[in-house]
Amino acid sequence: MSNKKYDLQSIGTIQRPESGIMLQIAEPFRPGLKQLEHFSHVIVLWWADQEDNDEGRSVVQVRPPYAEDHLTGIFATRSPQRPNPIGMTTCEISRVDEENGIVHIVNIDAFENTPIIDLKGYFPVCDRVKDAHIPDWLDWGIEWLPDEGMGFFEEYEEA
């Protein structure tokens, strides 16, 4: 197996001013926002920089906070502690300001100033699976993401 390294660059950051959550896109990438306002949702790929250290990158098994009685392999979770700390969140778009490089979103499970590494318009035909299944211990009886998000991030804001 090769340990080839790849270069990634941040295209912007996540901002959480009191006025709401936004994706602040760096000037050279702002033309890439063209037509994004026609989507209801965007997939945000972000770098969990607070977990980007040797300890976090060496984690291969965890007890998820939502199922602490289960030891799982890291690839069966969405934990930011992993060999490549890439996070992914599907976010509802409330407004796009292409000129100023701002995408206003409803919610995201990432911290202030978290680097954004990519955005992808959400395509239901490609990004949704008809008969998906998950382990019983993850079945909370929720079929769709609630409009207000899952609330995982709020517990960290209070800490």
CATH number of 35's domain: 2.40.30.70
Tell me if 13 sits within 8 A of 24, measured CB to CB: yes
Whole-structure pTM value: 0.87
> Do 43 and 108 belong to one domain?
yes
Which two tokens mark 106?
Answer: 């409803």
Show the domain range for 75.
51-84
- Structural domains of the chain, count: 2
Domain-located, residue 141? no
Taking only the tens place, the pLDDT of each residue in 141-157 is 666 666 666 555 554 45
Q: What's the pLDDT at 26?
A: 99
CA distance 117 to 138: 28
CA distance 38 to 121: 9
> Do 80 and 14 belong to one domain?
no
> Do 55 and 118 belong to one domain?
no
- Please give the single-letter amino acid code of residue 3: N
Q: What's the pLDDT at 158?
A: 47
Residues of the chain with pLDDT under 50: 155-156, 158-159
Q: What's the pLDDT at 156?
A: 46
